[in-house]
Amino acid sequence: MQIDADGNMELSAKENQKLMDELDIAPEDYDDPPVEIECIGMEDSAATFKATNTRTGKTVTLIFDQV
C-alpha cells in the first residue's frame, strides 16, 4: 500500500480484496462499498488510516508508505 505523489491511496488488487474480506464487504457491494476511511496519523514516510464498514462498525487499520 502506498500513497502517490498526488496524495491518492494505491492498493493492489490483492490488497483491495484483502481489505474487502477483512471488513466483511459482500461482493455485490464492491462497486460502492459501505466504507469510511479516516486518517489517524502521519509519521515520516507513512500514513495510518482507519477503514470502517459503516453497516457493521468493523474496522481495519491501514498503513500506507508515502512515495
Q: What is the pLDDT of residues 6-26, one digit of tens each?
A: 878 888 999 999 999 999 999
* pLDDT value for 42: 87
* pLDDT value for 7: 78
Cα gap 65→38, rounded to integer Å: 16
pTM, two decimal places: 0.82
* Measured CA distances, 61 to 28, 48, 53 (Å): 23, 7, 12
Q: Using an 8 Å Cβ cutoff, are 3 and 64 in contact?
A: yes
* Mean pLDDT for all residues in the chain: 91
